[in-house]
């Protein structure tokens, strides 16, 4: 799994955590990967996101969580500390992109933060 592919699978997992993906979330993912990987190929990125959706939609409950943890382990191997630190704000932007923060998104954010050793603070508007 390449760095672009690993980050894409992680972002797809966040997108699917609330059981839906939208235009705003896709745009947030595209912005994130263009900043992290400036030389990425649009076609390859599209293939990776579609593949990630397929893989994640076949996994449920503990199997999905184990898969996400494996992706996080791969990200720790592939990205340097600076790139990993950049993921925090990008994940926040992704979660807040559709204007609604669901509890499932908060849970995956906590999982990501714990495994990558980063801070992900999402504003609670209540």
Residue 124 within any structural domain of the chain: no
Contact between 14 and 105 under an 8 Å Cβ cutoff? The reply is yes
Domain span including residue 26 = 3-116
pLDDT for the residue numbered 125? 52
2 pLDDT higher than 90: yes
pLDDT for the residue numbered 126? 46
Contact between 109 and 41 under an 8 Å Cβ cutoff? The reply is no
Residue 106 within any structural domain of the chain: yes
pTM, whole model, 2 decimals?
0.91
Residues 37-56 have a mean pLDDT of 92
**Average pLDDT across the chain, whole number:** 91
Residue 42 within any structural domain of the chain: yes
Q: What is the CATH number of the domain that holds 72?
A: 1.10.3680
Residue 125 within any structural domain of the chain: no
From CA 101, how far away is CA 99, in angstroms rounded?
Answer: 7
Residues 78-99 have a mean pLDDT of 93
| Cα of 45 vs its chain's centroid, Å | 13
- Give tens-digit pLDDT for 93-121: 999 988 888 888 999 999 999 999 999 98
Residue 108 within any structural domain of the chain: yes
| Count of Cβ atoms closer than 10 Å to residue 20 Cβ | 11
Residue 43 within any structural domain of the chain: yes
Nearest to 12 by CA among 62, 63, 75, 55: 55
pLDDT for the residue numbered 124? 58
The domain tally of the chain equals 1
Give percent of the chain with pLDDT exceeding 70. Answer: 98
- The residue ranking higher by pLDDT, 71 or 21, is 71
């Amino acid at each position: 799994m390449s760095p672009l592919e690993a980050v894409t699978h992680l972002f797809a997992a966040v997108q699917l955590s609330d059981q839906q993906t939208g235009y705003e979330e896709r745009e947030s993912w595209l912005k994130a990967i263009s900043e992290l990987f400036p030389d990425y190929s649009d076609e390859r990125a599209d293939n990776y996101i579609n593949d990630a959706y397929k893989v994640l939609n076949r996994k449920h409950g503990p199997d999905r969580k184990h898969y996400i943890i494996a992706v996080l382990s791969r990200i720790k191997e592939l990205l340097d500390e600076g790139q990993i630190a950049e993921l925090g704000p990008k994940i926040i932007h992704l979660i807040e992109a559709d204007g609604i923060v669901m509890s499932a998104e908060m849970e995956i954010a906590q999982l990501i933060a714990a495994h990558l050793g980063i801070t992900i603070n999402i504003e609670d508007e209540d």
